[in-house]
Structure 1
Amino acid sequence: MITTAVTDGVREITLDRPDRRNALTRTGLDDLKAAVETATEPVVYLHGAGDAFCAGADLEAVRSLDEDSAAAFAQRGQSVGQALESYDGAVIAGVDGAARGGGVELALACDLRVATPDATFAESGVELGLFGAWGGTARLPRVVGEGIALDISLSGRVLDATEAYEHGLCSRIVDQPRTVAEELAENDPGAMRAIKERIRDRADIPTQHQREQEAFASLIDAFEAK
């Protein structure tokens, strides 16, 4: 279900279940988390096999849940999102085709979402009486704003790549998203790590400024050695 390969500083992680539009089961979530946590490359590139990025949770697996196991399943998905978000290097989601529900949430946990012209996004769980619980209700409003997040989540409507870009749900629309991963792999890993930490800092402004100074100073020795 999850395959990996390494080329030129990029760890490529593939959601490899195209017959189910790369929908994830408990095992798939565990394998994806392990693939992220064991990676050491400067850049991780996450994408789906076939004609979809990820359809989210496998509905057959969801139908087998009771209240307790549903909470545990949500926690599994959240832990994968946390692994993606906290990865030391840059993490790029290459979205080609459909991203639905949990697939959108996995993409939201990545640093960049790079779409092809054929990409579509939807939080479609509301149509089934559910909602995405892999961290999406926290991350989506941070990315697109509360109003747009409510529109997307309450309606379940499908956004094409252009509308997703307009709302900031994806940062670029390109024919080959992996080229962005290769581009980032040419940058300094330490600087990328510091940038991620500083941009995601939720402390007060004076504290952020102090930490920014310290992070910049910590990079100087490596810079001068180049």
Structure 2
Amino acid sequence: MIRTEVTGDVTTVTLDRPSRRNALTRAGLSDLQAAVEAADTPVVYLTGAGGAFSAGADFDEVAQLDHDSAREFVRQGQRVARTIETAESVVVAGIDGPARGGGVELALACDLRVATPDATFAETGVQLGLFGAWGGTVRLPRVLGEGEAMDLALSGRVVDAAEAKQMGLVSRVVEDPRAVAEAVADTNHDALAVLKRRMRDDADRPVQEAREAETFADLVVEHAAELER
């Protein structure tokens, strides 16, 4: 269900279950978390096989869960999203075709979301009496703002790549999202890791600014020779 390949400074993690539009079971979530945790390259490229990013949770499995196991399934998805969000590597989502429900939420946990023109997005849980619970109610308003997040989540409507770019759900729409991941990997790896930590810092603003100054100074000392060129 999860396929991993390392090429240079990029680890490609592919959701590889095209017959189910890369829907994730509990086993698939475990494999995805393990793949992201094992990556030791500056950049991880997360994508889907077969012309889809991910349909999110496998509802055939979800339908069989009782209350306790359903709660744990959600907690597992949240852990995977948190693993992506806090990974040392910069994680780039390359989204081609549909991203639905949990697929959107995994993409939201990534540092960059890059779509092809064929990508589409929807939080379809509301149509099934559910909602996006792999951190969706936390990250969606953080990324889109409350108004756009409410519209997407409450309506369950499908948005195309152009509208996703307009609302800030993706940062770019390109023919080859992997090229963006490779371009990121071609920058300074020390700065990449620091930038991610600083951008993800949720401490109070004075603490963030102090950490920003300290880490910038560390990089100046470390790369002094390069700065003099």
In the superposition, the TM-score normalised over structure 2's length comes to: 0.97
Q: Secondary structure at the match of 2:125?
A: helix
Per the TM alignment, residue 225 of structure 1 is displaced from its structure 2 partner at its CA by: 4.1
Residue number in structure 2 paired with 1:80:
80
Aligned to 1:174: 174
Q: Secondary structure at the match of 1:12?
A: strand
Q: CA RMSD in A?
A: 0.8
Return 5+ residue gaps in structure 2 as ranges. Answer: none
Task: Map 1:130-149 onto structure 2 (within 5 A).
Answer: 130-149=130-149
Please give the secondary structure, in 1, of the residue aligned with 2:211.
Answer: helix
- The structural deviation recorded for 1:26 is 0.3
Q: Deviations over 1:118-175 (max 9, x none)?
A: 0000000000000111111100100000111111001000010011001110000000
Identity of aligned residues (%): 62
- SS of aligned partner of 2:187: coil
- Number of residues of Structure 1 aligned to a counterpart in Structure 2: 226
The question of 1:104 aligning with 2:117 is answered no
Partner SS for 1:54: coil
2:10–2:181: 8 Å Cα contact kept in structure 1? yes
CA contact (8 A) 1:8 1:182 kept: no
Aligned residue runs from structure 1 range 194-205, under 5 A:
194-205=194-205
Query: Is the partner of 2:198 in helix, strand or coil?
Result: helix
Q: Equivalent residue for 2:14? A: 14
2-structure distance, mates of 1:202, 1:57:
28
| Structure 1 residues 183-202: Cα deviation after superposition (integer angstroms, max 9, x where no partner) | 01111122111111212222
TM-superposed CA distance for 1:8, in Å, is: 1.4
Moved over 3 A (4+): none
Moved more, 216-225 or 55-64: 216-225
- The secondary structure found in structure 1 opposite 2:23 is coil
Give me the whole-angstrom Cα distance separating, in 2, the residues matched to 1:192 and 1:141: 25
Deviation at 1:203, TM superposition (A): 2.3
Which has the higher mean CA deviation after the structures are superposed, 191-200 or 103-112?
191-200
Provide the residue aligned with 1:162 in structure 2.
Answer: 162
TM-score, normalised relative to structure 1:
0.98
| Structure 1 residue runs without a partner (length 5+) | none
| Amino acid paired to 1:222 | E
Task: State how far apart, in whole Å, the 2-side matches of 1:190 and 1:63 are.
Answer: 45
